[in-house]
Chain A
Amino acid sequence: MAQAETDGATARRPLSPHLTVYRPMMTMAMSMAHRISGGALYLGAALIALYLLALAFGPAWFSAFSWIGSGLFGHLILPAFVWALFHHLLGGIRHALWDRGLFMDPKGRELLATGTLVGGLALTVATFVLSSLAG
């Protein structure tokens, strides 16, 4: 596979214009956001694993790693992780609907992609408001 791409003869072939020829669309933006949020969850899970280990090892360890879960940084990382989680989760539901042939028309697919963005943000806000109310 790699040879086919790095081979001199093929490298000089004209390439068809790829992303640059399209007007940005919601479906394209959310497709990229799905992959980016997946990558963010990967990195976030590593940080949370570190936080949980510190919590398990005792107060001294926890004070060294509590920046992941509390303080200014913690109040950015965990909400960002929860947002990525909701966004990726709704992205999965979007794909499940498309798998079944639903919302495939021009209006429907843009509506669904916008719904992923708005829904992810709304669920994140709702979760943090409800959890702070629950105490």
Chain B
Amino acid sequence: MAPKNTFISGRTGRGAAYVSDASGASHDRFMRLTARALLPLGLATAWLLARLTGDSFEEARAELERPFPAVVLIAFIAIGAAHARLGAESIILDYVHDEALKQKALVVNTWVTRAIALAWAFAILLIAAPR
């Protein structure tokens, strides 16, 4: 992220040096915390997706109308999308060097991960909600 403090470099001047914004520790804690939750959720999701492979409409609906798969898949995408957002953020910060493009990419990443999570969870709710 953008440095909060400006370091005056002898070589490149004010604010142009690599300066820590001290966000690394919280990033690390968040990734490891979500990873811990995603271990059981990921295993269950892998199993459910394997079962969905090749399913017809009726078979897939019957699979996802049950409460356990619905709850697991919603929990997986809620936590997984947050994990993916920070992961993709690291990739953007590593490879996108143009400052304006970088800021755009970070905003797009935030909204794409939110859209994926909302679409996924909304779809499961439409399929599995009791009526």
Contact = CB atoms under 8 A, between A and B. Distances in A.
A20 interface: no
A42 B60 CA distance: 22
Nearest to A34: B87
A104 interface: no
Interface string B75-89: 001001100100110
Q: How large is the interface on A (under 10, 10 to 19, 20 to 34, 35 or more residues)?
A: 35 or more
Given A1-B3, A127-B50, A131-B47, A52 B57 contact: no
B17 interface: yes
A121 interface: no
Given A38-B84, A39-B88, A69-B54, A86 B46 contact: yes
Contacts, number: 131
Interface residues of B, number: 50
Interface of B: 3, 9, 11-12, 16-18, 32, 35, 38-39, 42-43, 45-47, 49-57, 60-61, 64, 73, 77, 80-81, 84, 87-88, 91, 97-99, 102, 112-113, 116, 119-120, 122-124, 126-127
29 contacts: A2-B97, A4-B17, A4-B18, A5-B97, A7-B12, A41-B80, A42-B88, A42-B113, A45-B77, A45-B84, A46-B116, A49-B77, A49-B119, A52-B124, A55-B57, A56-B123, A59-B57, A63-B57, A69-B55, A70-B56, A75-B53, A78-B50, A79-B53, A81-B49, A82-B46, A85-B42, A85-B45, A89-B42, A92-B38
Given A56-B127, A69-B52, A81-B49, 18 more contacts: A1-B18, A2-B102, A7-B12, A39-B91, A48-B120, A52-B64, A52-B119, A53-B119, A55-B60, A56-B124, A62-B60, A66-B57, A69-B60, A70-B55, A74-B54, A79-B50, A96-B35, A131-B51
